[in-house]
Amino acid sequence: MNIVQIHSGLGNQMFQYAFYLALKHHQPDTKIDTSVYRHRPSHNGYELERIFAIHPTHATIDERNRMADVGKDWFSVFRRAIGWKRKTDGQLVIEPNPSHGWFPEALQSENSYLQGYWQTEKYFANIAEQVRNDFTFRRPLGTKDSALAQEIASVNSVSVHIRRGDYIKERRRADYEVCTATYYRRAIEYIQAHVESPIFYVFSDDPTWGKEQNIFPTDTIFVSGHQGEDAYIDMQLMSLCRHHVIANSSFSWWGAWLGQHDKTITLAPSTWFRYRERPDIIPDNWIKIDAE
């Protein structure tokens, strides 16, 4: 048996689930573990089965404990902190530093508990169609969003994701590079040079900042109204656009990856983290844009 830990926000959960599918092709007895959310709430918690019509196999707490000593309850954390570790039957596989590139050996794991982000399509490129099918959004769009979706489908639509929010907080700012106005200006200019009559649809947790930069054409649409448990609708609408300008965010990465049409142009920032490389996160057919 293998167990893949699911943690963090929606975009990261999707990478971990796609990795789970890839691992399951090698070792059918592979399960997911979502128990981390009992002790460490993150964003909107575990969302995959609420948003997508999927039915992954969940590991029980007993199965997790037999495989690896990774419990997040206060006693387990304290016990490990003082050096008191339990004996387990499996091995703990932790994703190596992604700055060194992807780790294909992980897909050969057996009798393992696997922790990581697995943020590259290289893990699941050979089952891309299955991943896209599994990430079909469960719920139909409401009346207002359905009308917007029809509009998006009728023009040369370009999704633009601006993520600032948590990225500009002190805790995250030391690690994440925030996409600058220069990045978005260059991306917009590239799209305008290569796409006939593009219409930009901006998805952002800080739309005021985006409007203040004066870098978007006057007919740009700033999409709003999707927060909390409805935040995923932004990703759903992004995926309907013909072209994409993403932020250094797994959320818009998936919006773009799920929305690959014929001759789609996807632009991404060349720098993902401030001081760490992420050489495999951007697919080879996407275009990197320097922020400075």
In angstroms, what CA-CA distances link 83 with 79, 80, 122, 257?
Answer: 7, 5, 36, 43
User: Looking at residue 28, what is its pLDDT?
Assistant: 96
Task: Please state which of the ranges 75-79, 110-114, 216-220 shows the lowest mean pLDDT.
Answer: 75-79
3 state SS of 77: helix
User: Looking at residue 279, what is its pLDDT?
Assistant: 86
For the stretch 238-266, pLDDT in tens is 999 999 999 999 999 999 999 988 899 99
3 state SS of 289: strand
In angstroms, what CA-CA distances link 90 with 49, 70, 111, 138, 252?
Answer: 27, 12, 5, 35, 35
Per the listing, tokens 């489908």 go with 153
For range 8-37, the mean pLDDT: 97
Q: DSSP label at 219?
A: T
Task: Specify the pairing of strand 266-269 against strand 243-245.
Answer: parallel
Question: Residue 160: pLDDT above 70?
Answer: yes
For residue 229, give both structure tokens: 């448990």
71, 42 contact by CB (below 8 A)? no
Cα 117 from Cα 184, distance rounded (Å) = 26
User: Looking at residue 260, what is its pLDDT?
Assistant: 84
* 48 or 38, which is more confident: 48
Task: Please state which of the ranges 12-21, 49-58, 165-174, 269-278 shows the lowest mean pLDDT.
Answer: 165-174
Task: Please state which of the ranges 11-25, 44-58, 234-248, 263-277 shows the lowest mean pLDDT.
Answer: 263-277
- Categorize the per-residue pLDDT at 174 as very low, low, confident or very high, splitting at 50, 70 and 90: low
User: Looking at residue 117, what is its pLDDT?
Assistant: 94
- Categorize the per-residue pLDDT at 168 as very low, low, confident or very high, splitting at 50, 70 and 90: low
User: Looking at residue 73, what is its pLDDT?
Assistant: 86
Question: Residue 66: pLDDT above 70?
Answer: yes
For residue 181, give both structure tokens: 């106005």
User: Looking at residue 6, what is its pLDDT?
Assistant: 97
- Categorize the per-residue pLDDT at 7 as very low, low, confident or very high, splitting at 50, 70 and 90: very high
For residue 39, give both structure tokens: 């002790």
CA dihedral 118, 132, 26, 17 (to 10 degrees): 40
User: Looking at residue 222, what is its pLDDT?
Assistant: 97
The pTM of this model reads 0.94
User: Looking at residue 262, what is its pLDDT?
Assistant: 83
For range 29-40, the mean pLDDT: 93
Mean pLDDT of all residues in the chain? Answer: 92
Which residues, in sequence order, are CB contacts of 143 under 8 Å at separation 6+?
none
Question: Residue 114: pLDDT above 60?
Answer: yes
User: Looking at residue 169, what is its pLDDT?
Assistant: 59
Question: Residue 71: pLDDT above 60?
Answer: yes
CA 16 and chain centroid, separation: 9
User: Looking at residue 171, what is its pLDDT?
Assistant: 57
